Structure 1
Amino acid sequence: MREESASEIAENFFFVPDEFDHQSGLWPVRFGSNTAKQGYNVGPRSIPYYSLHFVRNGQVEFDYGTGTVQLVEGDFFCMLPGHSYSYRMLPHTHPLQMTWIAFDGPQANRLMSWINIDLGAPFKQKQPAPELQLTLEQLLRSARGQHPSHKLKRYTLLYRLFEQLCETPAQEELELTRGPNEWIPKSIEYMKTHYGEPIGIKHVSDHIGVHRAHFSKLFTEHIGINPSDYLRRLRMEQALRLLQHTSRSVLDISLSLGYADATSFTRAFGQYYGRSPSQARLDR
């Protein structure tokens, strides 16, 4: 809905979460954009949801309770639920233009932490990014439709927006800031989830964002077994369970555990247990 008042020309789109939305982790509440007029001033006010405001042009002064900051094109601020904020267009500047994306859901607080927004500093000063502006424009366009395809488009774009707002640190910085107590459990969970796929240790190290050699060394030190042997153990223990408790063929089991064929599986099984899959099945 496009409306003009004494202080702005604004367009707003409002959403009411349905059962599908509540079953997800994040849902839209309100999208909009404006062109402010001289004297534009909002607040103090609080809202029960999250609202990201992106500056497209001009300058805005944002008062977040414990401080005040002036934001320009490319910057954004966030109104966090239950807290009071004010913002205003600075006088004698270019017309202020903003786009806002309001949302809620159980994932919202985690997403805020991922983009480094918190109560002490609910804003970011960034260089304008064309791809981010494109996503905002697409979000506004998606708000005009009510078909399920439009809903799915809004979800896709909303997550894309957060992906673009995340600042990805360099590989070396990741390894310095995240110790093995954080990424070793993640590597184990990855292997337990995907040992049935044709994955190797390079897949695991890429998943956790740690250099392969560094990962293998520290994994072995902490777990007492190298990651290749750990992955092999997962596969062999599952193979033995399937052989002794199901009637599935050796080929079926081989392909279900990431092996290219029954021959390579039989060879690996024999090296691990000292007997063939057929002998292991007879021993049940």
Structure 2
Amino acid sequence: MKYQFCAVKHFRFSELIPIQMGYECCKPNNAPSFTPFNTIIHYIYKGSGVFTGKTSTYTLMPGQAFVMFPYQTASHVADGIDPWEYGWIEFAGASVPEIYNASKITMSSPIITDSTSQPLGKALMGILDASKQENISYQMILARLWEFSDTLLQLRANTERTVAMSEIYINQAISYIHSAQIPPIDVSNIAKHIGIDRSYLTQIFKKHLNITPQQYIVNYKMTLAKDMLLKSSLTLADVSDALGYSDPVNFFKAFKKNHKLTPTTWRKISSGEERIDQ
């Protein structure tokens, strides 16, 4: 699905000028190539993809947006398995540089992360909805673009508070994981327990810990596995079952990937029955 509306001819003289806007459900690995003449902001509603800006490459998820600058060489590619759906808006005007400065958007910092209630995503959707009305109110589009800009400025002003909250959410998630009954630790249940979206939970884990919540859970289980193997006489099958692996083979693979040894070898070495020649 692709929706697009051109508004520029209706706003020739304004501090903020909406050029065009639209919504697209991208195909896997979709990679449009063009150089914009004005600022374009893409907001991701579903799926994921990769944006490469002037200085860095970013893997982005729902609730994030990326900014393309006039005459900037940049590229973006939809994920091959879960391609993104995004809304976008192109705009210009004398106030744009001021908006850049106030919101601290630069070519070196082109990524915007929405808050959990997604006010920026809702503001952009409001513009798209206004552009699809049968009796289009162009002044309404302009008013909603100003609202979108104001939301962007407020979002950036609250960045420090948002980061602090994300760290609180991570601590709550880790506490839940460590206190949960093994084996049923589900990422969706963790997010629900905290009161945030699963995608946002994954996003802040990757930002602060450089791993996903699922990877953290696996690492935690592998730590428990070492303790069980060393301090109990449980069989490997019993340990596997206790940690929620329906197939012991999957437990063996996870343990070896995490600790570079099979569970059997690790138990023997840790109990002093065997050693590794260096």
| TM-score bracket for this pair, using the shorter chain length | 0.5 to 0.7
The equivalent residue for 2:36 is 47
Q: Is the aligned partner of 1:100 residue 2:92?
A: no
Q: Assess if the C-alpha contact under 8 Å between 1:78 and 1:122 holds in 2.
A: yes
Q: Is the aligned partner of 1:11 residue 2:3?
A: yes
Among 146, 158, 162, the residue aligned to 2:149: 162
Normalised to the residue count of structure 1, the TM-score between the two structures is 0.51
The equivalent residue for 2:21 is 31
Q: Assess if the C-alpha contact under 8 Å between 1:22 and 1:105 holds in 2.
A: no
Residue identity over aligned pairs, in percent, reads 19
Q: Assess if the C-alpha contact under 8 Å between 2:114 and 2:120 holds in 1.
A: no
Instruction: Look up the SS of the partner of 2:41 in the other structure.
Output: strand
| Unaligned segments of structure 1, at least 5 residues | 1-8, 171-284
What displacement does 1:146 show?
8.4
Among 69, 72, 75, the residue aligned to 1:80: 69
- Cα distance between partner residues in 2 of 1:61 and 1:144: 28
The equivalent residue for 1:152 is 139
The 1:72/1:127 distance shift into structure 2, 3 A limit, reads farther
| Unaligned segments of structure 2, at least 5 residues | 160-278
Q: Assess if the C-alpha contact under 8 Å between 2:8 and 2:20 holds in 1.
A: no
The equivalent residue for 1:129 is 117
- Cα distance between partner residues in 1 of 2:117 and 2:21: 19
Among 91, 101, 114, the residue aligned to 2:102: 114
Which has more radius of gyration? 1
Instruction: Look up the SS of the partner of 1:53 in the other structure.
Output: strand
The 1:130/1:122 distance shift into structure 2, 3 A limit, reads closer
What displacement does 1:61 show?
0.4
- Cα distance between partner residues in 2 of 1:53 and 1:13: 15
What displacement does 1:86 show?
0.4
Deviation string, structure 1 residues 234-271 (Cα, Å, up to 9, x no partner): xxxxxxxxxxxxxxxxxxxxxxxxxxxxxxxxxxxxxx
Instruction: Look up the SS of the partner of 1:101 in the other structure.
Output: strand
What displacement does 1:90 show?
2.0
What displacement does 1:104 show?
0.7
- Cα distance between partner residues in 2 of 1:85 and 1:74: 20
What displacement does 1:128 show?
4.2
